[in-house]
A and B are shown apart, each in its own frame.
Chain A
Amino acid sequence: MTTQTVPPGAHLPDHPEFLWRTPTPKKNYDVVIVGGGGHGLATAHYLAKNHGITNVAVLERGWLAGGNMARNTTLIRSNYLWDESTRIYEHALKLWEGLEDDLDYPILFKQCGVLNLAHSLQDVRDSVRRVEANKLNGVDAHWVDADEVKKLCPIVNVSDDIRYPVMGATYQPRAGIAKHDYVAWGFARRADQAGIDIIQNCEVTGFVTDGDRVTGVRTTQGDIGAGQVALCAAGHTSTLTDMLGIRTPLQSHPLQALVSELLEPVHPTIVMSNAVHVYVSQAHKGELVMGAGVDSYNGYGQRGAFHIIERQMAAAVELFPVFARAHLLRTWGGIVDVCPDASPIVGRTPYENLYLNAGWGTGGFKATPGIGWCLADTIANDEPHEFVAPFSLDRFVSGALVDEHGAAGVAH
């Protein structure tokens, strides 16, 4: 009797072409980027594209784009209050509008518009002020009343007998959503094509310093020399700056989100409500995607408390009664690094060749191409790009804070 052994999976077609290589790290790079999420990959792409700098490594402690890039709610908008924020987020939004061509890769960017609901007279005043500020900054922004909210998103409950009645909303038609994984893969593929090494499963365990310079990083794959180093580690930034003795005002918090089962298209726009701490969009596949507010305590656990989700659902069901029949498919958490003024920290550090990019809190995804562009420029010219200059670490000493709690504090 003969037995023929066929290895499992032998009948399957060949693995499709990989989008990037899996290189072993070289001894030295001109630029080492710590963090292979959206910001790190975008920075690598623009270093190559805009500045011709390709002797670059992107180090990722886990798998590519598996942190906040895989956990956010993919909302993209630029209707922030202050000039400084609007400039960087509007720069990002303009890049999003051409990103599919730039990357030559589908990212499913859909400009479905965002409604930021106002539920009280003070909300109305703040919202109208923000709309006017946006218009002065060349951002598309409109104030719409409750009837217009109903027209733009028919499933919103605009009756006046709910706990937080809808009194109107700000509307940014150019806002939208994108497929987060595809965005990361698109950037990674482009960076890899330019010769940049993307090194996964490579955790930074320390730094090699010489006076006020960082000369290399110690990793789980050995020491790697670096001409310049950029930290793009989001929620884990403090673990790196602690190794270097750099103090920051960052606090890491869990931030949760969830999706429903796949549904028919019912939700044509993004709807956000700061007052009730919920924001909703419908993904291309049909899941309702909802985000909550941050959990109050510091945490690195990539999970949060159930009562946060429970309250968020209560708010969502009141605003969208049709959601009462939807089933929750999954919830998850990421770690967001939050600053006291709800704005990021980008730019120089006490080490002359080390650049910090952190503190994006609950809003890092939408900034991805914009910050990649500006951080690459900062690294290439060794001078903070004008769009990120206001977000220096020094602002906490000078007092020149960029207080975005109103437009960014909770909902993104």
Chain B
Amino acid sequence: MQLIECPWCGTREETEFHYGGQAHVAYPEDPQALTDEEWARYVFFRTNPKGLFAERWSHSAGCRRWFNAVRDTATYRFHSVYRPDEQRPS
């Protein structure tokens, strides 16, 4: 089983975590002003790269806090984990 590092709790088994999809998708500043096209892009459209992907995870069976991770979707290897208030590591 894959081990995932929670920024608060340390390394735990994958089954303790819940996946949250693409990270850094900001809520629109002025939702009322969006066109249908822009609204669709915010609600439904996400990037789907083969390679490094910044994504959200929740330590749902542990501290229950959300965090971000950069993971390689081809190898499943985690490159870094960071708290939501931290910048994505370069």
Residues of A within 8 A of B (CB): 236, 238-239, 242, 247-252, 296-301, 305-307, 337, 340, 396-399
Contacts and interface: CB of A to CB of B under 8 A. Distances in A.
B74 A301 contact: yes
B27 interface: no
Closest 5 CB pairs of A and B: A238-B48, A296-B19, A249-B44, A397-B40, A300-B50
A251 B21 contact: yes
Contact of A301 (B37, B46, B75): B75
Given A299-B76, A397-B37, A251 B48 contact: yes
B46 A305 contact: no
Contacts of A252: 48, 50, 73
Interface in B25-75: 36-37, 40-41, 43-50, 53, 55, 71, 73-75
Contacts of B43: 340, 396
Contacts, number: 62
Contacts of B37: 397
A302 to B, nearest CB: 10
A248 B55 contact: no
Given A306-B1, A396-B40, A397-B40, 12 more contacts: A238-B47, A238-B49, A239-B50, A251-B48, A296-B19, A305-B2, A305-B14, A307-B14, A337-B48, A397-B36, A397-B37, A398-B36
11 contacts: A238-B49, A248-B45, A251-B21, A252-B50, A300-B50, A301-B73, A301-B74, A301-B75, A305-B14, A340-B43, A399-B36
A410 to B, nearest CB: 15
B65 to A, nearest CB: 18
A146 B37 CA distance: 47
A32 B36 CA distance: 33
Given A239-B50, A307-B14, A297 B36 contact: no
Contacts of B79: none
B24 interface: no
A247 B75 CA distance: 24
Contacts of B21: 251, 298
A305 B1 contact: yes
A238 B41 contact: no
Interface residues of B, number: 26
A298 B20 CA distance: 10
Given A238-B48, A247-B41, A306-B1, A298 B14 contact: no
B3 to A, nearest CB: 12
Contacts of A337: 48
A300 B71 CA distance: 12
Contact of A298 (B1, B40, B45, B73): B73
Contacts of A306: 1
Nearest to A298: B73
A56 B21 CA distance: 38
A252 B55 CA distance: 14
Nearest to A248: B45
Nearest to B18: A296
B38 to A, nearest CB: 9
Contacts of B1: 305-307
Contacts of B41: 247
B45 A300 contact: no
A236 B49 CA distance: 9
Given A242-B49, A397-B37, A298 B55 contact: yes
B11 interface: no
Given A236-B50, A299-B76, A397-B37, A307 B71 contact: no
A300 B73 contact: yes
A251 B55 contact: no
B80 interface: no
Nearest to A399: B36
Contacts of A242: 49
Contacts of A297: 19, 55, 71, 73, 76
Contacts of B2: 305
Nearest to B41: A247
A298 B74 contact: no
A382 to B, nearest CB: 24
B79 to A, nearest CB: 14
Max chain B Cβ within 10 angstroms of own Cβ: one of A306, A340, A396 = A396
